[in-house]
């Protein structure tokens, strides 16, 4: 069989993915009476391209899906894409801007037409890249959050929640992004600690008795102040309650009120109240019936309510002017540096503005109760377990969800207004007639729903709800959700709430929250930092298998992935190691090779040992896959294939493959093929392409019944083949061979030089074992003759090693120039003694010990110990030669 000398992943990976797709292996199959295993993909944005976070997330999903498929379970990995309202509209608006146009100029209908066109042309890019990674989703079921089926579910949910009193409309302070020109939910705001200022402003009392000093981080918002508040318990200001101050720069008179919210320790203890531009001030304003003065427009540009001097300025330019004028008028008392938490839009990183506007909300507390209960009862489990507390904390402190967005791309809110009398009607479709005035003309609410409003229905909308479909009954609840911790609130918690409320079952049984991909400096990978490589470039260079294995191998469950180019070496080297082993085995297969039945094999120690270790690895790997410990599975397979199969068994097999004993040769070949094909089954979930290629070619010789590895049975552990005594005997031989190799290294012997050994054993059984498998020493340590006995004297001159309770002697006569070696070692002893004396002198110096850094002193002590040990060993070696 012609097999390339080097592994070439690009050709192999493309070939096998097309083969799997063509044969529809990604669709649920197997025994229909068996319960299915279902995984829902966290739908990537339609604007997305594959990044390192996708690589980790989808690799982990693919591993668990491929494993359960090999267990014979009807397995479904349901794929989909999110319409990503803000991000997609922004992307098309940027293209429009290049033509000098805006969405307002071309209108809503034309804008949506352009977005749909963009989606059809470029929206599948992320799917194509997931296929390159090896994602074995059932692409025939690909869902899109704006599909008709999912849109129907969105409308149904909105109407039902409204009728249940869980959706309401109101004028509230919400998080507003002036760049995206839309509201944001609380969980879509990302906070960071930033250095800013605290401005202390004088508010003159109208009775002329002085002034109050108010501290603020946002002086521009003072133009919308409608009160100054103090704490009722603050004796410093109690006498001022009920009086008025003149609001600087405006001439407006505003009252001094008292409210428990005020923190007496912040600033001066006097707080400016701006109900239209701060959520806490909004609450104070509600309690005291204060006016709400909106001083900015939707782009955070100051409007006429801010005053004619400020109209047209953006909020930060206005801040600068306010501070200048306050300084000129002697009303700015001082400025202090101040570090505080600043909210940013999760999409564009613009500083978020608290903004008063009409919005739609979902009451979350009634939905949260059942979602808390199922986690408390462990019907849904979070892994790692620590995320349960995070989930519970958020759910127990949940706030209402702002679901309306002031953009055009998305699910338009199913609310209609009569053009005649203004009556509001919530309905799945436009009404035909107004129940109040009998008019038949309506207009729909301009806003769309938050993107997450469609994706929180993902577990059941994707299966055809609200209809009672076969798929809904068959595949819900799903088994495992694998996603990132940052969307535990935005998505995971909301899916639990919606599925329980509308379908009355849990959406999934286990939630695995994986870590974040970080660079070697611990920074989260991002485009802005320029530290995120393109996964497609990596796949082109080293292959998807190498990338997948590298990401999984060093990443414990739930831990962050530290990615650097160096970790790719692990996956690439492992792929090459497997390939070389496969190539070696197949080169020893003759045309028309007939292998004996397993029961007729003539097995020896190494054969029984490799089968024992293989079955232990099967047992451990299956357990790791079941428990979602993917890196443990990767390490278990890696250790077996690299350290045991390749480094020991294949090396030991070489003599037997060239043996004149036909049964010995065929036994060895059978075991090589069997262990290799079984190992490929174990490794397939992590490295699907190379394993399929190898398994398919071994299948031609080894007569495996399955059509493809992707649907082949996962190995089962044969407990009777795990033999601790065999494992101990082989370990004893390995330790002895390793000791001999180390003796050769000590003497710096040429690899081709053959040696003799004298081995003094403590038990007769050891003597029998070594004599029976003396060929292992010949093959792996270039040993020509071995003398083994219970009371053998130490030959002189020789060097020795101790393994357990036996002694191994390597006679030196005839293999090295004794006089030259004695001279070399004598010089080395002399050099080491001088070095030891120098270090000792330093450590005996009180001045050094008193003034040097502790770590420097510790390093010198360590150096002394290392030189001392090296000197002792060299002296022993020299003494042996004498």
Instruction: Return the domain boundaries, the chain.
Output: 13-86+123-145+365-397+450-514, 190-340, 536-712, 726-816, 819-881
Rounded Cα distance, 744 and 738, in Å: 10
Residues 6+ apart with CB under 8 A from 119: 46, 83, 88
Give the class (CATH, top level) of 190-340.
alpha beta
What are the tens digits of pLDDT across the range 666-720?
999 999 999 999 999 999 999 999 999 999 999 988 888 899 999 999 999 999 9
Rounded Cα distance, 753 and 751, in Å: 6
Output 8-13 pairs: Cβ under 8 A, ≥24 positions apart: 9/542, 9/543, 9/544, 9/545, 9/546, 9/575, 9/689, 9/690, 10/540, 10/543, 12/543, 12/689, 12/690, 12/693, 13/132, 13/134, 13/539, 13/543, 13/544, 13/545, 13/689
Q: Which uninterrupted H or E stretch holds 879? A: helix 854-881
Rounded Cα distance, 174 and 277, in Å: 9
Residues of the chain short of pLDDT 70, as ranges, are 1, 527-528
- DSSP string of 6-69, one letter each residue: S--HHHHHHHHHHHHHHTTTTS--S-TTSPPEEEE--PPBTT----HHHHHHHHHHHHHHHHHH
What predicted TM-score, i.e. pTM, was given to this entire model? 0.85
pLDDT score of 527 = 66
pLDDT score of 11 = 87
pLDDT score of 528 = 64
For residue 470 the two structure tokens come to 């076969």
Size (the chain), residues? 882
Q: Answer for the pair 702, 59: CB distance below 8 angstroms, yes or no.
A: no
The angle that helices 544-553 and 125-133 make with each other, rounded to 10 degrees, is 80
Residues 6+ apart with CB under 8 A from 393: none
As beta bridge partners, residue 272 has: 228
Domains 13-86+123-145+365-397+450-514 and 190-340 share a fold: no
Q: Answer for the pair 774, 786: CB distance below 8 angstroms, yes or no.
A: yes
SS (H, E, C) 679-729: HHHHHCCCCHHHHHHHHHHHHHHHCCCCCCHHHCCCCCCCHHHCCHHHHHH
pLDDT score of 570 = 95
Q: Strand order of the sheet with strand 755-760? A: 783-789, 755-760, 806-811, 798-803
- Phi, psi angle pair for 415, to nearest 5°: -130, 135
Identify the CATH assignment for 13-86+123-145+365-397+450-514 out of 1.20.144.10, 3.90.1150.10, 3.40.50.620, 3.40.50.970. 3.40.50.620
Rounded Cα distance, 274 and 292, in Å: 7
Looking at CATH, the fold of the domain delimited by 819-881 is given as Helix Hairpins (1.10.287)
CB atoms within 10 A of CB 822: 16
pLDDT score of 1 = 63
Domain 536-712, architecture per CATH: Orthogonal Bundle (1.10)
Q: Which uninterrupted H or E stretch holds 605? A: helix 605-626
As beta bridge partners, residue 402 has: 361
Q: Answer for the pair 545, 585: CB distance below 8 angstroms, yes or no.
A: no
What are the tens digits of pLDDT across the range 841-882?
999 999 999 888 888 999 999 899 988 988 887 787 788 777
Scored b (16 or more CB within 10 A) or e, 13-52 reads beebbeebeeeebbebebeeeeebbbbbbbbbbbbbebbb
Rounded Cα distance, 736 and 747, in Å: 17
Query: Is the bond into 477 cis (omega within 30 degrees of 0)?
Result: yes
pLDDT score of 291 = 94
Q: Answer for the pair 809, 759: CB distance below 8 angstroms, yes or no.
A: yes
Q: Answer for the pair 551, 55: CB distance below 8 angstroms, yes or no.
A: yes
């Amino acid at each position: 069989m012609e097999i390339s000398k080097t592994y070439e992943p690009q050709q192999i990976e493309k070939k096998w993915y097309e083969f799997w797709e063509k044969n529809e292996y990604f669709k649920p199959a197997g025994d229909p009476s068996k319960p299915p295993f279902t995984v829902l993909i966290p739908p990537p944005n339609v604007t997305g391209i594959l990044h390192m976070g996708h690589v980790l997330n989808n690799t982990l999903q693919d591993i668990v899906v491929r494993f359960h498929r090999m267990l014979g379970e009807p397995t479904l990995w349901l794929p989909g894409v999110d319409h990503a309202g803000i991000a997609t509209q922004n992307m098309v608006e940027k293209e429009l801007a290049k033509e000098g146009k805006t969405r307002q100029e071309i209108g809503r209908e034309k804008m949506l037409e352009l977005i749909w066109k963009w989606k059809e042309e470029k929206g599948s890019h992320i799917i194509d890249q997931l296929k390159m990674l090896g994602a074995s989703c059932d692409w025939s079921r690909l869902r899109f959050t704006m599909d008709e089926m999912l849109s129907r579910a969105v409308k149904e949910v909105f109407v039902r929640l409204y009728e249940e009193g869980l959706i309401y409309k109101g004028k509230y302070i919400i998080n507003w992004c002036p760049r995206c020109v839309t509201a944001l939910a609380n969980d879509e705001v990302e906070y960071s600690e930033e250095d800013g200022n605290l401005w202390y402003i004088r508010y003159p009392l109208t009775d002329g008795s002085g002034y109050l000093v108010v501290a603020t981080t946002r002086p521009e918002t003072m133009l919308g102040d409608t009160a100054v508040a103090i704490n009722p318990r603050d004796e410093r200001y109690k006498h001022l309650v009920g009086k008025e101050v003149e609001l600087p720069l405006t001439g407006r008179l505003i009252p001094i009120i008292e409210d428990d919210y005020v923190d007496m320790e912040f600033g001066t203890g006097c707080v400016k109240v701006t109900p239209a531009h701060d959520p806490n001030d909004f609450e104070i304003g509600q309690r005291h019936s204060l006016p709400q003065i909106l001083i900015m427009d939707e782009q955070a540009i100051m409007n006429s309510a801010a005053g004619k001097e400020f109209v047209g300025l953006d909020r930060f330019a206005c801040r600068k002017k306010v501070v200048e004028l306050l300084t000129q008028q002697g009303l700015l008392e001082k400025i202090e540096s101040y570090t505080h938490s600043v909210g940013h839009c999760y999409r564009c990183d613009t500083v978020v503005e608290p903004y008063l506007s009409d919005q739609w909300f979902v009451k979350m507390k009634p939905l949260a109760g059942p979602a808390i209960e199922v986690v408390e009862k462990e019907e849904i489990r979070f892994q790692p377990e620590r995320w349960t507390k995070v989930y519970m904390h958020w759910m127990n402190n949940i706030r209402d969800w702002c679901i309306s967005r002031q953009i055009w791309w998305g699910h338009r809110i199913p609310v209609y207004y009569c053009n005649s009398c203004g009556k509001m009607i919530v309905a799945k479709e436009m009404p035909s007639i107004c129940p109040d005035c009998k008019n038949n003309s309506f207009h729909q609410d301009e806003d769309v729903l938050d993107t997450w409003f469609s994706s929180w229905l993902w577990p059941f909308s994707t299966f055809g709800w609200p209809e009672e479909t076969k798929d809904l009954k068959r595949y819900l609840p799903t088994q495992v959700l694998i996603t990132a911790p940052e969307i535990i609130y935005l998505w995971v918690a909301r899916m639990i709430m919606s599925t329980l409320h509308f379908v009355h079952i849990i959406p999934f049984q286990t939630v695995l929250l994986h870590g974040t991909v970080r660079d070697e400096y611990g920074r989260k990978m991002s485009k802005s930092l320029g530290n995120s490589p393109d996964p497609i470039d990596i796949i082109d260079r080293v292959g998807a298998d190498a990338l997948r294995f590298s990401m999984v191998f060093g990443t414990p469950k739930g831990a962050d992935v530290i990615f650097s180019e160096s970790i790719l070496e692990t996956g690439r080297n492992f792929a090459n190691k497997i390939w070389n082993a496969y190539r070696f085995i197949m080169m020893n297969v003759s045309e028309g090779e007939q292998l004996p039945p397993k029961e007729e094999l003539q097995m020896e120690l190494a054969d029984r040992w490799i089968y024992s270790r293989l079955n232990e690895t099967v047992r451990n790997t299956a357990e790791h896959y079941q428990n979602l410990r993917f890196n443990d599975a990767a390490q278990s397979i890696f250790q077996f294939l690299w350290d045991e199969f390749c480094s020991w068994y294949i090396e030991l097999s070489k003599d037997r493959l060239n043996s004149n004993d036909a049964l010995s040769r065929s036994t060895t070949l059978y075991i090589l093929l069997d262990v290799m094909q079984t190992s490929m089954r174990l490794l397939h979930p992590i490295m699907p392409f190379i394993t399929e290629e190898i398994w398919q070619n071994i299948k031609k010789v080894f007569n495996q019944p399955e059509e493809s590895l992707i649907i082949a049975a996962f190995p089962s552990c044969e407990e009777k083949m795990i033999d601790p005594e065999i494992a101990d005997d082989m370990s004893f031989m390995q330790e002895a061979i390793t000791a001999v190799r180390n003796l050769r290294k000590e003497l710096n012997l040429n690899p081709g030089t053959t040696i003799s050994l004298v081995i003094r054993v403590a038990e007769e059984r050891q003597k029998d074992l070594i004599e029976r498998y003396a060929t292992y020493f010949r093959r792996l340590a270039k040993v020509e003759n071995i003398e083994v006995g219970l009371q053998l004297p130490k030959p002189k001159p020789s060097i020795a090693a101790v393994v357990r309770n036996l002694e191994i002697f390597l006679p030196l006569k005839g293999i090295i120039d004794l006089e030259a070696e004695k001279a070399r070692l004598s010089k080395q002893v002399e050099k080491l003694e001088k070095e030891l004396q120098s270090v000792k002198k330093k450590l005996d110096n009180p001045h050094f010990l008193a003034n040097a850094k502790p770590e420097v002193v510790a390093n010198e002590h360590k150096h002394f110990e290392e030189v001392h040990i090296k000197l002792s060993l060299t002296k022993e070696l020299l003494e042996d030669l004498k």
